[in-house]
Chain A
Amino acid sequence: MSFSTFVTDKNGLQKLYEAIISKHETFAPVEKFGKYDYKKVSSLEECDPDSPIAMTMSVKPLFFPRSSKIIKYEATSAGTTIHETEQDQLAGPRVILGVKHCDARGLQVLEAVNKWDYIDSDFLKRRSNTVIFSTRCDKADTHCFCTSLDYDVENLDAMDVAIVSGPDGKIYIQARTEKGENFLNQNPAPGSQSPAPSAGEEMKKQYEGFMTSFRLKMDYKDVNEKMAKRFDSTAFEEATRNCVSCNTCAFICPTCHCFKISDEKIKDTGVRYKSYDSCNNVYFTLEAGGHNPRPAKYRRWRQRSMHKFVYYKERFGVNLCVGCGHCAISCPVNISIFEVVNHVAAAPTEV
């Protein structure tokens, strides 16, 4: 199925954004102290859908919240009652503007684990009720390597609508899914015309310019293959020695999805939560009897990096990393998943 492309200018795009925000529940990148996070907005002034830099936090929390209530309960001598919690605040329908391509891909990658066998219908519903607008970056940030990881510019369906700012100064608005197509038909960009014959050319030029701005490049297939053979490598320890196990990387990662279930009870009433957890956490695999299969930091890092570049790929056919660089930007000791996996892949196989 081919989808429509519309052409407009900066002014037309602003008007489209304004119309969307006025009509729909809308989220967009909001700046605070130089950091960007996706927040609910009520006017275009509050946000910057075309924010120039990599996001600090991924869009993940809008689909998989940092902490969500599973149940509320009352346990008294008279018996126990379980109440399902209040309505899902993230169920939409809603629009998210300015989602970075890497973030949108992250949701696509997460879909695999959420829909195999037991289906997490909450996650899938949040995604299917959301229209994702993604503004294609013009320039890579220091830690970006998204184009090295399954970035298929011809067949992007991670976002519903792609916005590309062409080298000719025009803005191209391209539907990438049926949902996006329908949405653009119902919410047309003011002044938009049917695309000039050169639209494809201009968008390609933009992409080529973007491609040349990357500092980091990798051949992920080579990394997949080499890492799979280096389970026993000492390189995991070398590359992650400085890690302080703060778990920030996992919390802000668009694809990390490990969680824990915990109870909080005061007197007779309690709440059970599902919240983020990380395999870098020393308690993650600690068993009640005291045994811990991953007591050392390098073993936990081995799990984290192998999960991203070997195990998930084996299981679901896709890397559990989208090359966004969020982890490297926020790491207090400058560890980058890019460097870790490349270091391991380059290490000798003999231990």
Chain B
Amino acid sequence: MEALLVPSLARIDRIIQETPDVRTYRMKFKDDSLMEKFSWQPGQFVEFSLLGSGECTFCISSSVTRKGYFDCSIKRAGIVTADIHSDLEEGDDVGIRGPYGNCFPLEDIKGKNLLFVGGGIGLAPLRSLIQYCIDNRGDYKDFTILYGARTSADLCFKEEIEEWKKNTSIKVVLTIDKPEDTWKENVGVVPKILEEVVKPEIANTKVITCGPPIMIKYTLQSLDRLGFAPKDVITTLEMKMQCGLGKCGRCNIGSTYICKDGPVFTYEQLKALPDEF
């Protein structure tokens, strides 16, 4: 019964403490043949469940080009995520359904300059695409990552960011909101650094952004001022979801199902939706 909603078991291989309240859970399906068949596109999400606590929607934060595992990066925020952080250990089993949703427009961004703008945990969905693009680096022109967080401790994926910095074909710009003694990089909110430090080229550039609502709001305004066309700005939405299948009605915005028609939208598409976020 309810075959669509039955999860498969995956085992947590590794837990990486990214920040005080974000952890990356690296896992694979217990059934090897399932893991081999499991394929996803950057931007897609899974329904992740800690059996006994409940099911939550998380984007897959790693790329399908990194074989044999997948990551979910989870911030401690609500009831289930608090249980995940406190109860889930390496070697434990979780339930997974998916992958669901659309993905970043991989064809559209080919041959373009890529500008990633991330804030806080918002780097998680971008990371899947960043890894994918790094693994297919020849398909893209300039590659810039602007990433900010409130404090240096709140920056996710620190080890990986160090690797990105060593990659000479990628420009990495980091920022935190307020100065810290040991911090050598930029200080200031993401939209400010975008306009004052990154000063991106507009022509032939696709911007992919994700972050907290307040950052998105001001980043979209900055991108507007810089002259980016709404169709060249791509973001991924966060809405309360449950089924992920376009059935349960939770993520309806107008006649759009965020879980099916999204979560990835261009700014142009977002503007056409009823103002209900």
Whether a CB of chain A sits under 8 angstroms from the CB of B3 is yes
Nearest CB of chain B from residue A88's CB, rounded to whole Å: 5
Contacts of B238 in A (CB 8 A): 287
Whether a CB of chain A sits under 8 angstroms from the CB of B217 is no
18 more contacts with CB within 8 A, not counting A68-B1, A286-B240, are A71-B6, A80-B92, A82-B6, A82-B8, A113-B247, A122-B1, A231-B274, A260-B248, A261-B5, A263-B49, A272-B5, A279-B249, A289-B78, A294-B276, A299-B276, A306-B254, A311-B252, A314-B255
Whether a CB of chain A sits under 8 angstroms from the CB of B171 is no
- The residue on B at minimum CB distance from A273 is B2
Using CB atoms and an 8 Å cutoff, list the residues of chain A in contact with chain B: 68-71, 73, 75, 79-80, 82, 84-88, 113-114, 116-118, 120-122, 231, 257-263, 265, 270, 272, 274, 277, 279, 284-289, 291, 293-294, 299, 303, 306-307, 310-312, 314-315
Whether a CB of chain A sits under 8 angstroms from the CB of B232 is no
Q: How far is the CA of A120 from the CA of B248 in the complex (A)?
A: 11
Question: How many residues of chain B get a CB closer than 8 Å to chain A's CBs?
Answer: 43
Q: How far is the CA of A27 from the CA of B35 in the complex (A)?
A: 44
Most buried by A among B49, B55, B252: B252
Whether a CB of chain A sits under 8 angstroms from the CB of B246 is yes
Q: How far is the CA of A88 from the CA of B4 in the complex (A)?
A: 14
Contacts of A73 in B (CB 8 A): 51
11 contacting pairs across A/B (C-beta < 8 A): A69-B1, A70-B5, A80-B92, A84-B6, A117-B245, A258-B250, A277-B249, A277-B250, A294-B276, A303-B252, A311-B252
- The residue on B at minimum CB distance from A79 is B93
Contact: B1 with A85, CB < 8 Å? yes
- The residue on A at minimum CB distance from B95 is A82
Contacts of B213 in A (CB 8 A): 291
Whether a CB of chain A sits under 8 angstroms from the CB of B126 is no
Contacts of B54 in A (CB 8 A): 261-263
Contact: A293 with B247, CB < 8 Å? no
Of A69, A259, A299, A311, which contacts B243 at CB under 8 A?
A259
Given A258-B249, A279-B249, A293-B277: A75 and B52 within 8 A (CB)?
Answer: yes
Using CB atoms and an 8 Å cutoff, list the residues of chain B in contact with chain A: 1-9, 49, 51-56, 77-81, 92-93, 95, 213, 238-240, 242-243, 245-250, 252, 254-255, 260, 274, 276-277
Of B78, B246, B252, which contacts A118 at CB under 8 A?
B246
Nearest CB of chain B from residue A105's CB, rounded to whole Å: 19
- The residue on A at minimum CB distance from B81 is A288
Nearest CB of chain A from residue B119's CB, rounded to whole Å: 13
Contact: A263 with B51, CB < 8 Å? yes
Nearest CB of chain B from residue A66's CB, rounded to whole Å: 13
Contacts of A314 in B (CB 8 A): 254-255
Contact: B1 with A88, CB < 8 Å? yes
- The residue on B at minimum CB distance from A80 is B93
Given A288-B78, A293-B239: A263 and B2 within 8 A (CB)?
Answer: no
Contact: A277 with B248, CB < 8 Å? yes
Q: How far is the CA of A88 from the CA of B2 in the complex (A)?
A: 9
Given A69-B1, A75-B93, A288-B78: A307 and B249 within 8 A (CB)?
Answer: yes
Contacts of B5 in A (CB 8 A): 70, 261, 272, 274
Main secondary structure of the interface of B (DSSP, over half): loop
**Sorted from nearest, which 7 A-B pairs have the closest CB atoms?**
A288-B78, A265-B52, A258-B249, A80-B93, A288-B77, A314-B255, A311-B255
Given A288-B78, A291-B213: A261 and B1 within 8 A (CB)?
Answer: no
Contacts of B277 in A (CB 8 A): 293
Contact: A307 with B242, CB < 8 Å? no
Nearest CB of chain B from residue A349's CB, rounded to whole Å: 15
Contact: B250 with A284, CB < 8 Å? yes
Nearest CB of chain A from residue B187's CB, rounded to whole Å: 25
Contact: A261 with B242, CB < 8 Å? yes
Q: How far is the CA of A257 from the CA of B79 in the complex (A)?
A: 25
Contact: A274 with B51, CB < 8 Å? no
Contact: B95 with A121, CB < 8 Å? no
Contact: B1 with A263, CB < 8 Å? no
Contacts of A291 in B (CB 8 A): 213
Most buried by B among A88, A287, A307: A287
- The residue on B at minimum CB distance from A292 is B240
Q: How far is the CA of A253 from the CA of B255 in the complex (A)?
A: 20
Q: How far is the CA of A230 from the CA of B80 in the complex (A)?
A: 37
Contact: A265 with B246, CB < 8 Å? no
Of A71, A116, A288, which contacts B246 at CB under 8 A?
A116
Contacts of B239 in A (CB 8 A): 285, 287, 293
Q: How far is the CA of A245 from the CA of B74 in the complex (A)?
A: 32
Contacts of A286 in B (CB 8 A): 240
Nearest CB of chain B from residue A27's CB, rounded to whole Å: 18
Q: How far is the CA of A311 from the CA of B77 in the complex (A)?
A: 31
Contact: B276 with A293, CB < 8 Å? yes
Of B52, B247, B248, B274, which contacts A263 at CB under 8 A?
B52
Given A75-B52, A289-B78: A118 and B4 within 8 A (CB)?
Answer: yes
Q: How far is the CA of A84 from the CA of B52 in the complex (A)?
A: 16
- The residue on B at minimum CB distance from A231 is B274
Most buried by A among B56, B79, B213, B276: B276
Contacts of B247 in A (CB 8 A): 113-114, 118, 120, 257, 259
